Structure 1
Amino acid sequence: MSNTTLMGKQRRAVGLMGGTFNPIHYGHLVAAEAARDAFNLDQVIFIPSGQPPHKSNVFVADPEHRYLMTFLAIVPNQHFELSRVEIDRPGPSYTLNTLQYFAERDPAIDWYFITGADAILDILTWHQPERLFGYAEFIAASRPGYSLDKIYALEQRLGREHMERIHPLEVPALAISSSQIRERLRMGLSIKYLVPEAVEHYIAKNRVYQALRHERR
């Protein structure tokens, strides 16, 4: 897919990788790189959430820990950038506010929001979902073998115009999940090769998920 043109001038295309990153893992990194390749993105900006509105029943590490882990994970890739916009913004981290911020900061860029296929299925529960599509297109990353039928069924609720702005993308490494990694940390099991080595060391050194070891199941 090539970048669109406006009055003969090629527009830049930039991906926005939003998420809790609790913690960031190789699945996130592979999805971002796959999206960059598939949609010819000039760069991908990772945006750790400050106060994720849908995670009230899940242990979420301190935003600064999640920001630093994300930095350590993405720094080797020259096409990856990091933003504090949601961490520094008070109140719940709504995707709408983030998309509006970037779109208004540089309207000459085509913005793509990268998220998981499961998250896209819940897009109608997001804050003011009808406004989201005015600011960006959506890349729905799925693992191999994931049935896309549910995503395509969204057209009945979203309408064809909005549905055309959702693009499924198969990503092999998405079998890894942050919840799986947190469970392994709770049980005292290794997370090696699930997260970048620098992130693994940061979690151990700073005891980021130590509180999970004391949770009862």
Structure 2
Amino acid sequence: MKKIGLFGGTFDPPHNGHLLMANEVRFQVGLDEMWFIPNHKPPHKTDRKRADSRHRVKMVEAAIQSNPHFRLELIEMEREGPSYTVDTVELLKKRHPEDEFFFMIGADMVEYLPKWHRIDDLLQMITFIGMKRPGYAGSTAYPLLFADVPAFDVSSTLIRQRIKQEKPVDYLIPKAVERYIKEHHLYES
């Protein structure tokens, strides 16, 4: 049996903060692997156009290639419609019944757990890992593990803005991701 962390996101683009969080959580919780799951259509993010799915997948591949504990999981790209976590986890449990799954969420998402689609079913299938962050209480009635992750104040929104403004993104995203973005002219306008 493997202990597998699940890290879902739009990863538009993936950045060093994502990698830092995933690595710290994997280490602190004692996970064997961390699976990055790019969302096809996140139900809570309908307000903007994202980079094409194939570009986001390629960027995640580039970002995680140097870490043998990181893996790309395309389960949400295989489905149409909104990417609800409970649907993803049900499919993963069917495909990997012997493994134990942990789902990583940011401190900002902890307070929204009661609003998650079929949260009670989800809690029967996985353990949530909340990342502690200044400014968020992190308290919830739901059973959660918490991980202390060093602060790294970067977001995909910031990266997109900096690229659009032709500002450097050195040390914010992996070099391989930066090369991919430049090669495909992503986020330029």
| 1:47-196 matches, cutoff 5 A | 47-143=37-133, 146-149=134-137, 151-152=138-139, 154-155=140-141, 163-164=142-143, 166-196=144-174
Q: Could you list the per-position Cα deviations for residues 96-122 of structure 1 after superposition, in whole angstroms to 9, with x for gaps in the alignment?
A: 111111122222211101121112222
Contact 1:141–1:168, Cα closer than 8 Å, also in 2 = yes
Tell me if 1:198 matches 2:176.
Answer: yes
Kindly indicate whether structure 1 or structure 2 has the higher relative contact order, using CA contacts under 8 Å at least 6 residues apart.
2
Show the counterpart of 2:25.
35
Question: Percent identical across equivalent pairs?
Answer: 37
Deviant stretches of 4+, over 3 Å: none
Once residues 50 and 151 of structure 2 are traced to their aligned partners in structure 1, the CA distance between those partners, rounded to angstroms, is: 23
Show the counterpart of 1:5.
none
Show the counterpart of 1:6.
none
The Cα shift of 1:186 comes to 2.5
Once residues 41 and 61 of structure 1 are traced to their aligned partners in structure 2, the CA distance between those partners, rounded to angstroms, is: 30
The Cα shift of 1:183 comes to 1.8
Contact 1:115–1:141, Cα closer than 8 Å, also in 2 = yes
Provide the aligned C-alpha RMSD in A. 1.5
Once residues 82 and 89 of structure 1 are traced to their aligned partners in structure 2, the CA distance between those partners, rounded to angstroms, is: 16
Residue correspondences, number = 189
1:208 to 164, 171, 186: 186
TM-score, with length taken from structure 2: 0.93
TM-score, with length taken from structure 1: 0.82
Show the counterpart of 2:6.
16
Contact 1:31–1:173, Cα closer than 8 Å, also in 2 = no
The Cα shift of 1:184 comes to 1.4
The Cα shift of 1:79 comes to 0.7
The Cα shift of 1:80 comes to 0.7
**Partner SS state of residue 199, structure 1:** helix
Once residues 69 and 49 of structure 1 are traced to their aligned partners in structure 2, the CA distance between those partners, rounded to angstroms, is: 13
Contact 1:86–1:93, Cα closer than 8 Å, also in 2 = yes
AA at the equivalent of 2:119:
P
AA at the equivalent of 2:155:
S
Contact 2:4–2:32, Cα closer than 8 Å, also in 1 = yes
**Partner SS state of residue 90, structure 1:** coil
Q: Give the greater-gyration-radius structure (CA).
A: 1
Contact 1:30–1:173, Cα closer than 8 Å, also in 2 = no
**Partner SS state of residue 112, structure 1:** strand
Contact 2:36–2:72, Cα closer than 8 Å, also in 1 = yes
Once residues 140 and 17 of structure 1 are traced to their aligned partners in structure 2, the CA distance between those partners, rounded to angstroms, is: 11
Higher helix share: 1
AA at the equivalent of 2:163:
L
